[in-house]
Amino acid sequence: MTEFDWRPGVLPEALRVRGEMLRRIRRYFEKQRVLEVETPALSRAATTDPHIGSIAATPRNGPVRYLQASPELAMKRLLAAGSGDIYQICRVFRDDESGALHNPEFTMLEYYRLGLDHLALMRDLSALLTEATAGWIGLGEPEYLTYSEVFSEHVGCDPLRDSAELLALAMSRRGLDVPDSIRDDRDALMDLAMAALVSPTMGSGRLSFVYDFPPEQAALANIRRAETPVAERFEVFLSGAELANGFHELVDAGEQRGRFAAELGRRRHLGLPAVPVDERFLAALEAGVPACSGVAVGLDRLLMCITGADHIDQVLAFGWTRI
């Protein structure tokens, strides 16, 4: 520790912009009659996603609890109980995430709108983000591109039909070093291609929405059954950074339980520890979560875009190295 490590890393202007941005977001939802809610930051369950690490908290008495990686499952329990449209601005926690765009503790906006599919929610989110950033950055008309379209242009392959071998070959031809450990893993290959070849090209002066993902990338999204099935999921990019991840929500308890089991199997394959599944969330799905879409927005990244920061520490009062 140095003499000045007590000082915040953020500039005062970024603090003021954050406060105004949060006021605008709350004002937008007030006009839309969307209810602000709070859910616990601790849970008996952890995320089963092998790409996200939950942070465990060990009470003096009682079972281990996990800091929330997202408020999603608890908020869906509120939806099942009849809350109607809801939103939450909260702190979330993810292990082993640190870098220019990542901090293990960060601020997330999560919201749900009943009766909307992912396409309608994209338009709603565009209106919200335009209002939240007005006067700081000028956003042109948003663009809406399918996952297949961006992969065809920037990776040179068909992510819905091509084998892992063809995906890896296309990525290598674009100059990307593909590790041998993932050459037979379509899911991992698509994640790498999206991060290295697609994301940096997205969101130049406007919001870029990428939607209709491959079924392997469904997460908690509904899969639209067709000749070529797609996951009804979208991501939003601005200035080359992913800002948001949204779903036309899966509300089938049996299918969701199967996806959790598949993720736990994937964790075993990767040598990751098993984690407890959120049984209360599955019970809420069985009771009936209404048809809806939801989205999670990284507010620190949005603030980076507004202020022109090139590292997340510049918009956090105290980044990971100052706590």
pLDDT class for 1, splitting at 50, 70, 90? low
Closest CA to 113 of 74, 87, 90: 87
Residues 6+ away with beta carbon under 8 Å from 50: 263, 266, 267, 270, 272
Beta strands 86-93; 35-36: pairing state = parallel
- What is the rounded distance in angstroms from the CA atom of residue 173 to the CA atom of residue 12? 45
pLDDT class for 303, splitting at 50, 70, 90? very high
pLDDT average, residue stretch 189-207: 95
- The string of pLDDT tens digits covering residues 23-51 is 999 999 999 999 999 999 999 999 999 98
- The string of pLDDT tens digits covering residues 50-73 is 989 999 998 888 889 999 999 999
- The string of pLDDT tens digits covering residues 202-231 is 999 999 999 999 999 999 999 999 889 999
pLDDT average, residue stretch 189-203: 95
pLDDT class for 78, splitting at 50, 70, 90? very high
Matching CATH number, 12-140+244-322, of 3.10.620.30, 1.20.1740.10, 3.30.930.10, 3.30.460.10: 3.30.930.10
pLDDT at 323: 82
DSSP 8-state class, residue 227:
S
- Does the pLDDT value for residue 9 go beyond 90? no
pLDDT at 22: 98
Alpha carbons within 13 A on the beta-carbon side of 306: 26
Q: What angle separates helix 72-80 from helix 279-287, to the nearest 10 degrees?
A: 30
pLDDT at 254: 97
In percent, how much of the chain has pLDDT > 90? 88
Question: Where do we find the tokens 């993902």?
Answer: 213
Distances from the Cα of 90 to the Cα of 24, 25, 70, 297, angstroms: 16, 13, 9, 11
- The string of pLDDT tens digits covering residues 156-180 is 999 999 999 999 999 999 999 999 9
- What is the rounded distance in angstroms from the CA atom of residue 193 to the CA atom of residue 309? 25
Question: CA geometry: angle at 54 spanning 52 and 57, to 5°?
Answer: 170
pLDDT at 4: 73
pLDDT at 3: 67
pLDDT at 60: 86
Question: Where do we find the tokens 């984690």?
Answer: 275
Residue 86 three-state SS: strand
- What is the rounded distance in angstroms from the CA atom of residue 271 to the CA atom of residue 221? 26
- What is the rounded distance in angstroms from the CA atom of residue 146 to the CA atom of residue 183? 24
pLDDT at 37: 98
- Please, what's the b/e burial string for 141-172 (b: 16 or more CB within 10 A of its CB; e: otherwise)? ebebbbbbebbeebbbbebbebebebbbebbe
Q: What is the pTM of this model?
A: 0.95
- What is the rounded distance in angstroms from the CA atom of residue 107 to the CA atom of residue 70? 10
DSSP 8-state class, residue 10:
S
pLDDT at 319: 87
Structure tokens belonging to residue 15: 């603090």
pLDDT class for 281, splitting at 50, 70, 90? very high
